[in-house]
Structure 1
Amino acid sequence: MDTDVLVIGGGNAALCAALMAREAGMRVLLLESAPRAWRGGNSAHTRNLRCMHDAPQDVLVEAYPEEEYWQDLLKVTGGLTDEHLARLVIRASSTCRDWMRRHGVHFQPPLSGALHVARTNAFFMGGGKALVNAYFRSAEALGVEIRYEAPVDRLEIEDGRFVAAWSQGQRISARSCVLAAGGFESNRDWLREAWGRNARGEWPSDNFLIRGTAYNQGVLLRHMLDEQQADRIGDPTQAHMVAIDARAPLYDGGICTRIDCVSLGVVVNRDAERFYDEGEDFWPKRYAIWGRLVAQQPGQVAYSIIDAKAIGRFMPPVFPGIRADSLPELAQKLGLDVATFMQTLDSYNAACRVGQFDHTALDDCYTEGVAPAKTHWARPIDTAPFYGYALRPGVTFTYLGLKVDDTAAVRFAGKPSGNLFVAGEMMAGNVLGKGYTAGVGMSIGTAFGRIAGRNAALAAQGRPAMAGAVQD
């Protein structure tokens, strides 16, 4: 065997798996498709981990119990989640931080202000880039062999068991393997295939931007689903999809391109009409539905409109908004029909029933007699200067993946493999059928990365996989 445990991928889930297997005494080889400078996949763009806790706990304030976490996840997924696996992730999120710290990850003190997540999420000092760099340093120090620019395009599998992987014409054999190579969000052809054409013969997905890595082409995922006939889960059109600045780059724009003022104003489409409740819930619980909402609008574009009262109440994006001293001027600058835009804004302003505005709570500022309603934080947009941000769908990662159980084993015709495991975006659809809530992707990747690494080590020793989360 070339190694005991082969890990395919270079993001959070892959690194957690590699570290777990190495800690168990295995020889570990990790293959990262990106160059060293772009290592880490989408994990390099992350900022935090959603964590269950029953009382104040180091960097987390108050409490965020299991049932509340579960209800938050249940709400955003609309029930499209495996409760057993979801609760496994939730419970694992409460105990993983000490292990992360042992591998060099640092957490920053609780945040306050516009993000409202000091209670539910632990933030990485230095963000996701610092986290993946810490894991890579720890892996190298422990003796994990790492190869960059080493994409894997196919596997040899016999009777449901991993035999070898092929990378750039080289055959690599191992006693067990962990797949953690990400989704297919960077593959423009696959996005076209998934989303299809609209009634006008256009490809909606051509207007999507990719928030993260350009290296998640889904080659290995396609191979597993189509050629190896692994059990699948998820809708190929479902993804963590965020409304981002239309001026963002095609790849790797990251967090700074997100537009976070949606709940403080109104959003209109290309026809200058509102289409969804901007104040439905706190922004960290709703930001990830807005990419899909914009994707369903004409031309896959929308415009977030705020006035001077909103300034200073949201995380500013990398690009400044389009500024105007009047609403008609703003409509002109955004290329929207002025008459329709003013009708929309006048109707909204007249419908506002302003109570005690408080963006840190589900306040009593709402609309009445206008559709769609705005449930909270509804205030007239009437104070100059006015600002507009053009929005496009920003895809973070896709949810189509491999079906698993609580051993993280890849399944073939319902039967779990004895030595092939999966973690991260390649299986996140088991927990995320649709929707998203901040930090849960890292919770899934950390929990299942560690499970996959532990069980790959057991398989390399000829021992059966263990069900459930890793117990520290």
Structure 2
Amino acid sequence: MIDVLVIGGGNAALCAALMAREAGASVMLLESAPREWRGGNSQHTRNLRCMHDAPQDVLIDAYPEEEFWQDLLKVTGGITNEHLARLVIRASSNCRDWMRKHGVHFQPPLSGALHVARTNAFFMGGGKALVNAYYRSAEDLGVQIRYNAPVDAIELDGDRFVAARIGGERIEARACVLAAGGFESNREWLREAWGQNERGEWPADNFLIRGTRFNMGVLLKYMIEAGADAIGDPSQSHCVAIDARAPLYDGGICTRIDCVSLGVVLNNKAERFYDEGEDFWPKRYAIWGRLVAQQPNQIGYSIIDAKAVGRFMPPVFPGVTANTLPELARKLGLDEATFMRTINEYNAACRVGKFDHTVLDDCHTEGVTPAKTHWARPLDTAPFYGYALRPGITFTYLGLKVNDRAAVHFDGQPSQNLFVAGEMMAGNVLGKGYTAGVGMSIGTTFGRIAGTEAAHAAAAVKAGKAGNTTARSSKASQDIEHATS
């Protein structure tokens, strides 16, 4: 019998497998995807958000704990577990050396309109390179890896893990880490979560899945139905406004439209519906998918002029281009009269001060609803560009409730040998909203904790001390304590 079974194949699962193996446990990792699609949503990531009190290797200036917490508090609207959130924040300060040990490389700080040179550490080669590095390290350490291995059931004895099932196959282990992702690829579950709106539409029918096609939520649903304590709103997710021409699955970062704060966004009635300049883009990009999802036909249009070009990361598809605003309206299929009225009202309302997209500048609107708080400049310089937007779901926030040992709970009581990490528990920290890189911070932190705790639990079973968790001291917990000292 193996010591630790890890179910999942992304960042959190790999961190758990590596930590469990480093702690001396025998480890098997089950990835539902084929090898060429391994890594879940982690293959589409680029960075993780890191606390630091002074300049550190690839991070400039300082990003102290309290600022990180306030950023998270703002985007979640307070729907977060502060104890677990601060655990993630502190752990984010000291994980990079461990990541490097397992083959992850970081690139120098980014500058410009992304506003993240101070807060986020970027992986050299992106998430795909990170995932590949972790798989290589896991293989070198002797972790057994199986692909095309979708677990569809968990065998429990009360709150204790006994075995996982893949169809008729049964795999026993002394402890288990669940890290199999959310349910964003399950269209029926998304329909159920979002329901039907007042216009008689089923919004989820128009969602694109920015992340992996393999996150169907089978294991999450099984655990909730088996009595595991759940947390989070099933309609909340990392939901980004992406190019409407993006593929149904696995579009990744290149389909995101990053020029929203530099112009205006209209719905299919050619009307504005939210403050495009509310805050820096990394703190607001993940609300725009939900905003577009609330509009008729779940579509929006990001409109900019030539002044914005070069100030944002260009998407994979070029925008619709026109030499005049009326021409752009016609090309986008929007009512020309309403389009021009909306743009003219916005242009007249702009109070242009000193434009600077790297700070919260004083360029704003007056006398128009909704207001634009920052970076408001008239759209008056040809050529003009338009990008059609659809909601792009990256991962869902409904998950399993945990404590700071990453233990799955049943009726409020933590399991002694069943743990969870990554998207399957991110809702403990992310009740709603998002700020760039925090998903990887959560997955890395709780993956490392879950793996170490699972190794301890397996060792206790082998020693005949199952259930005795007093005086347990995991390396992950020690790391976190060191980070706050």
- TM-score normalised to the size of structure 1? 0.99
Match of 2:273 in 1: 275
**Amino acid aligned to 1:63:** A
Please give the alpha-carbon distance, in whole angstroms, between the structure 1 residues aligned to 2:158 and 2:207. 39
Give the superposition deviation at 1:116: 1.5
Contact 1:150-1:168 at 8 Å conserved across structures: no
Give the superposition deviation at 1:169: 1.7
Contact 2:3-2:27 at 8 Å conserved across structures: yes
- Which residues in structure 2 correspond to 1:97-136 (within 5 Å)? 97-136=96-135
Give the superposition deviation at 1:466: 4.6
The superposition leaves residues 183-220 of structure 1 with CA deviations (integer Å, 9 ceiling, x where unpaired) of: 00000010011111123433110100000100000000
Match of 1:296 in 2: 294
Give RMSD over aligned pairs.
Answer: 0.9
**1:270–1:468 CA distance, 2 compared to 1 (3 A):** farther
Match of 2:323 in 1: 325
Contact 1:51-1:94 at 8 Å conserved across structures: yes
Unaligned runs of 5+ in 1: none
Please give the alpha-carbon distance, in whole angstroms, between the structure 1 residues aligned to 2:10 and 2:98. 17
Match of 1:350 in 2: 348
Contact 1:80-1:433 at 8 Å conserved across structures: yes
**1:469–1:84 CA distance, 2 compared to 1 (3 A):** farther
Please give the alpha-carbon distance, in whole angstroms, between the structure 2 residues aligned to 1:200 and 1:367. 31
Contact 2:452-2:475 at 8 Å conserved across structures: no
**Amino acid aligned to 1:350:** A
**Amino acid aligned to 1:316:** P
Match of 1:238 in 2: 236
Please give the alpha-carbon distance, in whole angstroms, between the structure 1 residues aligned to 2:171 and 2:7. 11
Contact 1:161-1:419 at 8 Å conserved across structures: yes
Contact 2:270-2:335 at 8 Å conserved across structures: yes
Match of 1:197 in 2: 196
The superposition leaves residues 88-107 of structure 1 with CA deviations (integer Å, 9 ceiling, x where unpaired) of: 00000001000000000000
Match of 2:450 in 1: 452
Match of 2:425 in 1: 427
**Amino acid aligned to 1:46:** T
Match of 2:64 in 1: 65
Please give the alpha-carbon distance, in whole angstroms, between the structure 2 residues aligned to 1:396 and 1:466. 34
Please give the alpha-carbon distance, in whole angstroms, between the structure 2 residues aligned to 1:217 and 1:201. 26
The superposition leaves residues 13-66 of structure 1 with CA deviations (integer Å, 9 ceiling, x where unpaired) of: 000000000001111000000000000000000000100000000000000000
Give the superposition deviation at 1:467: 7.6
Question: What SS does structure 1 have at the residue aligned with 2:164?
Answer: strand
Please give the alpha-carbon distance, in whole angstroms, between the structure 2 residues aligned to 1:191 and 1:282. 29
Number of residue pairs aligned between Structure 1 and Structure 2: 470
Please give the alpha-carbon distance, in whole angstroms, between the structure 2 residues aligned to 1:383 and 1:217. 46
**1:39–1:128 CA distance, 2 compared to 1 (3 A):** same
**Amino acid aligned to 2:107:** Q
Q: Percent identity?
A: 81
Please give the alpha-carbon distance, in whole angstroms, between the structure 1 residues aligned to 2:109 and 2:17. 29
Contact 1:155-1:166 at 8 Å conserved across structures: yes
**Amino acid aligned to 1:360:** T
Match of 1:172 in 2: 171
Give the superposition deviation at 1:468: 9.4
* In the alignment, structure 1 residue 37 sits paired with structure 2 residue 36: yes
Match of 1:406 in 2: 404
Contact 1:233-1:401 at 8 Å conserved across structures: yes
Question: What SS does structure 1 have at the residue aligned with 2:478?
Answer: coil
- TM-score normalised to the size of structure 2? 0.96
Please give the alpha-carbon distance, in whole angstroms, between the structure 1 residues aligned to 2:457 and 2:96. 26
Question: What SS does structure 2 have at the residue aligned with 1:131?
Answer: helix
